[in-house]
Amino acid sequence: MSIINVAIGPQDWDYYYGTWDAIGRKASRKWLESQSIHSDDMQKLLNDGIEFKYRLGREGNGDVWRTILTKFRTDEQNNYIPVELTCKIASLTSFVGTVRDAVSQLLKEVEILKNLSHPHVIHFEHFVRLYDEKSGFPHPIRVLCFMELCDGNLKQLIKWAGKLPEPLSLDWFLQIANALQYLHKSGIAHLDIKPQNILVKINPVNQNEIMVKLTDFGLSETFRPGSPVITDTEAGTHDYKAPETLISRAFDAFKTNIYSLGVSLSESLVSSDSKSPPIMLRLIETI
């Protein structure tokens, strides 16, 4: 589905923007709310069947919104079926460097997700690139990445519950471990495993079961299957990083994923103050 035609191709972006350090910072002062969508673009999206309901939070370098797409999917009679999805809005103002590098970083997550299919990895649906077609010097490009809608993330669940029962912790841990095994066999290192990036979804088949899905692949790296998985990237969140990432310039990317998963498991088992919403409390009580 083509929503907005992009008249400026990748080969032209550097020409129009120069470097983000030299030019983009001036634009960012004009567009203070870098992650917001401007009214003209919002109207275009609405006309094309994309309605933004409310902001869910932030993921990596972009804001995440709950959206309804009314012209995205059809039934057997070719009638449109409204679809609820999450939308991650990422802007070039999140980056420093050339526009080409920033666009490459933004689209990397899309390219990774498009080629993944696993029950415990977030399902990618669609993406849109936005810029101001009326301006002789377009404002920073935004990328809208649409994915399946979930009910929250593991960090929120831990906060609400105080700590999770061991059977529930084991359940989500095994689901994500299974997803990591799939990713590693595909040559993909997530590099930012943490409870915030593990989404929680009520199983549509069994309302008393919780499914979890790994999300936010913006910092991920890809490796050829069978090749060394050594990286020197500084990606990740400090509290969940493996010790070797802090003292070495090169480390095993897959092993750091496993360490971060272990830290996340420990966090889910540690007691803290809680305030459980009814639906999550009901789920926990069934364990």
Question: How far is Cα of residue 254 from the mean position of the Cα atoms in its chain?
Answer: 19
Cα(214)–Cα(194) distance, rounded to whole angstroms? 9
Which own/partner contact pairs does 256-259 have at CB distance under 8 Å and 24+ positions apart? 256/189, 256/191, 257/180, 257/183, 257/184, 257/189, 257/190, 257/191, 257/193, 258/180
Catalytic residue among 192, 216, 252, 273: 192
Q: Which two tokens stand for residue 212?
A: 């979890």
Of 85, 265, 93, the residue nearest 164 (C-alpha): 265
Q: Are strands 80-91 and 152-153 parallel, antiparallel or unpaired?
A: unpaired
Encode 130-148: b = buried (16+ Cβ within 10 Å), e = exposed. bbeeeeeebbbbbbbbbbb
Of 86, 24, 9, 97, the residue nearest 50 (C-alpha): 86
192 counts as catalytic: yes
CB atoms within 10 A of CB 276: 16
Cα(97)–Cα(23) distance, rounded to whole angstroms? 10
Residues annotated as catalytic are 192
